[in-house]
Amino acid sequence: MRILLLDKNHPLITEQLSAKNFSLEEDFYSSYEEVLKKIEHYDGIIIRSRIPLDQNFLENAKNLKFIARVGAGMENIDIPTAQKLGIQLINSPEGNRDSVAEHVLGMLLLIMNRLIIASNEVKNGIWLREENRGDELLGKTVGLIGYGNMGKATAKRLSGFGCNVIFHDILPDLSDEFAQQVSLEELKEKAEVLSLHIPLTKETQYLINHHFINDMKNDFYFVNTARGKNVETKSLVEALKTGKVKGACLDVLEYEKSSFENLDTSSEKNKENADLQYLLHSEKAIVTPHIAGWTHQSKEKLAQYIVDKICNSFS
């Protein structure tokens, strides 16, 4: 089988698949149009997010048997067209679930205990104790939306901090020793911390909006390590200003490029976007550059899961 690698990943992918007699070609720089001209010659593609695999692309991939995404989300693939054409879709959410869960916990501890603020103050000669009194996770009810690989790993860690973890998911009967499944209405009634672990779909785009936030009974901390467009930024910023959202931990932003490689600063609208500027400068928000799933360990694990799944299906 001929496999085209369109993004840089851990070298074990090339090493192990080559050892299994797959024929691999790396192309990390060609444009969508350039790849389109040659895609009919390949049986498989391994990607991250650089090139969108839309209907036009897939219909030109005459011999394509699988698409493997090194990561969890599949929104850059036209899934209905791939399924119609019989193309197998492979991803590896198991590979970075632990790093995402630790990132969630790390951001919560930072913002609830004002660690970045206090550290910066001390470094600038300011010594404030009462003003930097923290807020404990112990005893808080944490609501997760989505209980797949990321949600379960996050719940496991939060339970170790003495949190009452509840979650909502579209699939039934997922409760386990770490978290209890509830309706969305019950989650809104009880949660003091809200964390997203969902894909980006038509149903989940801008799920967290003005109405959702107002439906939350408690003032709450908010964490998003899922996708930026799961959240309507304008509504989140309004809630931060009023105190309804006590603090926001954002690893993803609505204004990211589709490749996730940077903010879309080419847009004048984003350069002047007051909501984005608020998040970037507010002490009530922690913003990281889409790295929750990016650790040294997850890079290797993501790749290994992809290799194992390809070999199990096509060796």
Token pair of 279, please? 């998040």
Percent of the chain past pLDDT 90, that is, above it, reads 93
Q: What is the mean pLDDT of residues 153-163?
A: 97
How many Å is the Cα radius of gyration of the chain? 21
Q: What is the model's pLDDT at position 261?
A: 75
Q: Is the pLDDT of residue 60 over 60?
A: yes
**Integer Cα distance of 37 and 35 in angstroms:** 5
Q: Which of 168, 227, 232, 254 is catalytic?
A: 227
Q: What is the model's pLDDT at position 46?
A: 97
- Comparing 181 with 268, the larger pLDDT belongs to 181
Q: What is the model's pLDDT at position 297?
A: 97
**Could you tell me how far CA 315 lies from the centroid of its own chain?**
31
Q: Is 2 tagged catalytic?
A: no
Which contacts (CB < 8 Å, 24+ apart) does range 252-259 have? 252/224, 252/225, 252/226, 252/227, 252/228, 252/290, 252/292, 253/228, 253/279, 253/287, 254/228, 254/229, 255/228, 256/228, 256/290, 258/49, 258/52, 258/76, 259/49, 259/50
Specify the DSSP element, H or E, that contains 153.
Answer: helix 149-159
Q: What is the model's pLDDT at position 269?
A: 56
Nearest 10 degrees: Cα torsion 154, 160, 161, 167:
40
Token pair of 155, please? 């719940």
The model's confidence at residue 266, banded by pLDDT at 50, 70 and 90, is low
- The string of pLDDT tens digits covering residues 27-50 is 999 999 999 999 999 999 999 989
- Residue 236 phi/psi, 5° resolution? -65, -45
Mean per-residue pLDDT of the chain: 95
Whether residue 159 contacts residue 146, with contact meaning beta carbons closer than 8 Å, is answered with no
Q: What is the model's pLDDT at position 252?
A: 97
- Residue 204 phi/psi, 5° resolution? -105, -5
Q: Is the pLDDT of residue 25 over 90?
A: yes
Percent of the chain past pLDDT 70, that is, above it, reads 97
Q: Is the pLDDT of residue 278 over 90?
A: yes
The model's confidence at residue 263, banded by pLDDT at 50, 70 and 90, is confident
Residue whose C-alpha is closest to residue 246's, from 276, 213, 207:
213
- The string of pLDDT tens digits covering residues 100-145 is 999 999 999 999 999 999 999 999 999 999 999 999 999 999 999 9
Q: Is 290 tagged catalytic?
A: yes
In degrees, to the nearest 5, what angle opens at C-alpha 215 toward C-alphas 280 and 114?
35
Beta-carbon count within 10 A of 164 CB: 16
Instruction: Give the list of residues 6+ apart from residue 25 with CB closer than 8 angstroms, or none.
Output: 2, 3, 4, 5, 42
Q: What is the model's pLDDT at position 271?
A: 57
Q: Is the pLDDT of residue 223 over 70?
A: yes
The model's confidence at residue 244, banded by pLDDT at 50, 70 and 90, is very high
Q: Is the pLDDT of residue 79 over 90?
A: yes
Instruction: Give the list of residues 6+ apart from residue 193 with CB closer than 8 angstroms, or none.
Output: 108, 137, 140, 141, 142, 143, 163, 220, 221, 222, 223
- The string of pLDDT tens digits covering residues 200-222 is 999 999 999 999 999 999 999 99
Q: Is 256 tagged catalytic?
A: yes
Token pair of 183, please? 């309706």
